[in-house]
Amino acid sequence: MYPEEGGALPRFTFGPDGNRSGWANRYCTLPGSAARRPRLKESHNVMEQNFSIEERIDQGVPIIAVIGEIDVATAPQLRERLHGVIAEGRATVVLDLLGVTFLDSTALGVLVGALKRCRELGGELHVVVADARIKKIFEITGLNKVFPLVDALSDVGAP
Amino acid sequence: MIGASDGGSVDTLGEGDQVVLTFPARGDLVVLARLVASAISTRVGFDIEELEDLRLAVGELCLLALQGSDDWHGDLRLEFTVSSEALDISCTSGGAALAADGRGAEGDEADQLSEQILAALVDEHGRVQEDGSVRAWLRKRRKGPLE
């Protein structure tokens, strides 16, 4: 059963003779002879992504802390949480990305959308980011000049 | 380990080697493309910074191949081709489309950001429509010759 048919998440599995089997057999091809083909751990689930969003209020300002990878799969959860907080009338939000290990354009799109909503209400979306790789993504898209980026929560100015 | 071209080390990929990954056009599976990109980057000799660049770029490539879609179905086909001077990667949608809530209301803006990210991280990139499918591609040149 393939994942689009409602089955379990895809797994790369290799039989005892080194041949690929199941989902991987259908979806992945590699160069070289069969003898050189890789052997991955059986039932190793590559789909698992650690992702969580925590929310708290500090001196009346919501702080949304994200842990894990924000991409096309997880960004909708962040969008929903940010929009929910802003819809409650909280114009200023702090987004803590200190625990984020990956960020793509979908995530940036969500952040830009949330920033617009905050500013429409006269507020701001403060982004806390310290990881150089995450900062680089803001820099190459020019968004480091759009968002108020700070290295630590303690650096966020008074709203 | 990944298979190697004739005469190469078993944990490297050499000139002419090609890796193909096909997977359902689901947002939660784009991580597969990034994982494979990381594995291949190390095996063609890219350093850690280049690996991180390619990991991000490949994810964006998948998203660009699905641009303009409003429903999801079908597969994405990702091809990695190793040459002496570069790693070429292409992603073909084959009529596939991403789950509707993936890019959300910020879809157009996110597509522009994808273009910016690719422009900054790789040497060449582009997107073409071919027979009803979209193919997004990139080229990342090596800093030095293939050993």
Same domain, A58 and A131: yes
Q: What is the ipTM of this complex?
A: 0.83
Interface contacts A/B by beta carbons within 8 Å: 128
If you average pLDDT over every residue of chain B, what do you get? 83
Q: Flag if B29 and A47 touch (Cβ within 8 Å).
A: yes
**Domain for residue B117, yes or no?**
yes
Residue B145's alpha-carbon distances to A58, B35, B83, B141, B142, in angstroms, are 54, 25, 10, 10, 7
Which domain covers residue A71, as residue numbers?
Answer: 51-154
Same domain, A22 and A60: no
Instruction: State which residue of chain A sits closest to B10, comparing Cα positions.
Output: A36
CA dist., res. A71 & res. A19, Å (int): 32
Same domain, A75 and A18: no
Query: Looking at the predicted structure, is the pLDDT value of residue A35 above 90?
Result: no
**Domain for residue B23, yes or no?**
yes
Predicted local distance difference test score (pLDDT) of residue B104 = 57
Give the number of other Cβ atoms within 10 Å of residue B4's Cβ. Answer: 20
If you average pLDDT over every residue of chain A, what do you get? 77
Query: Looking at the predicted structure, is the pLDDT value of residue B40 above 70?
Result: yes
Amino acid making up residue A135: K
Q: What is the pTM of this model?
A: 0.78
- Domains identified in chain A, total number: 2
* pLDDT greater at residue A114 or residue B106: A114
Residues of A in contact with B10 (CB under 8 A): 36
Query: Looking at the predicted structure, is the pLDDT value of residue B30 above 50?
Result: yes
Predicted local distance difference test score (pLDDT) of residue A30 = 46
Residue A131 contacts B where some CB pair is shorter than 8 Å? no
Of the listed ranges A33-37, B23-27, B121-125, the least confidently predicted one is A33-37
Distance from the A16 Cα atom to the nearest Cα atom in chain B, whole angstroms: 16
**Domain for residue A46, yes or no?**
no
SS3 state at B105: helix
**Domain for residue B10, yes or no?**
no
Query: Looking at the predicted structure, is the pLDDT value of residue A39 above 70?
Result: no
Which domain covers residue B105, as residue numbers?
Answer: 18-141
pLDDT tens per residue across span A75-92: 999 999 999 999 999 999
**Stretch A99-121: mean pLDDT:** 96
**Domain for residue A143, yes or no?**
yes
**Domain for residue B32, yes or no?**
yes
Percentage of residues of chain B with pLDDT beyond 90:
52
3-state helix, strand, coil in chain B (%, to 5): 35, 25, 35
